[in-house]
A and B are shown apart, each in its own frame.
Chain A
Amino acid sequence: MHSRVIVQTDDFDVAEECRALANSGRCGAVTQFVGVMRDRNEGDDIAVMELEHYPGMTERSIETIIERASERWPILAATVIHRVGSLLPGAQIVFVGVAAMHRQAAFSACEFIMDYLKSEAPFWKKECKADGTERWVDARDSDGQALSKWRV
């Protein structure tokens, strides 16, 4: 199983990442998730979002999540790219792509990796509202609940 984990300020090319995953040997399915910055949150217009992470631990925690996914499903490769720094509405934030021989493993592992990334990987978002005020985004209960379906 080949994994690729990148934290970067630059944007990423989804088509390029999917092509690279499709080139994994014996690949028959590639799934992808792209998280995009919303222009509204909790009723407010958001002008800019600042993303912070814990260098080192963030990458390690995502690698661990991918390893756990590969223990549950027969996946061939996984790529996670997460952006940090200043992002504008409509910007791509995160890419999760998984290659497998068959679709079910690729779908499930992609969702599993994204669910655990949201609740374990040390990233933090700060929103700068259109009126100039700033606030740190609070963790959502629904992100914790999303994990319950994987605990079997």
Chain B
Amino acid sequence: MITILFFAKYREQLGLGRMDFTLDTALCVGDLKKRLVSDGGEKWAEVLLADNTLCAVNQTIANDSVEINDGDEVAFYPPVTGG
């Protein structure tokens, strides 16, 4: 089981801030995005497949090739606008 978090605009677009996801096999970030999009449809594609979508695995920035393991925390979020 992994935890997936969504922040800011993405949380609102999906109507979801947090979900649990059962890993049946080892996945990388890119695979996870494809799985979520194929399960969820167009709304999820708009969020996860946008050019500027950022991902963090265990609170460290991760690209599509980073591997996800059981117990990990994965977050998807738009470009940051603090300061």
Contact = CB atoms under 8 A, between A and B. Distances in A.
A54 B9 contact: no
Interface in B33-83: 52, 56, 59, 61, 75, 77-83
A25 interface: no
How big is the B interface, by class?
10 to 19
Interface string A106-121: 0000000010011111
Name the prevailing secondary structure of the A interface residues: mixed
A93 B80 CA distance: 15
Interface in A43-71: 51-54, 56-57, 60
Contacts of A51: 82
Contacts of B83: 35, 82, 93-94, 114, 117-118, 121, 123, 143
Interface stretch (A10-18, A97-105, A131-139): A131-139
Contacts, number: 68
Interface in B3-56: 5, 7-9, 52, 56
A5 B80 CA distance: 18
B82 A54 contact: no
Contacts of A35: 83
Contacts of A138: 79, 81
A134 to B, nearest CB: 10
A131 to B, nearest CB: 19
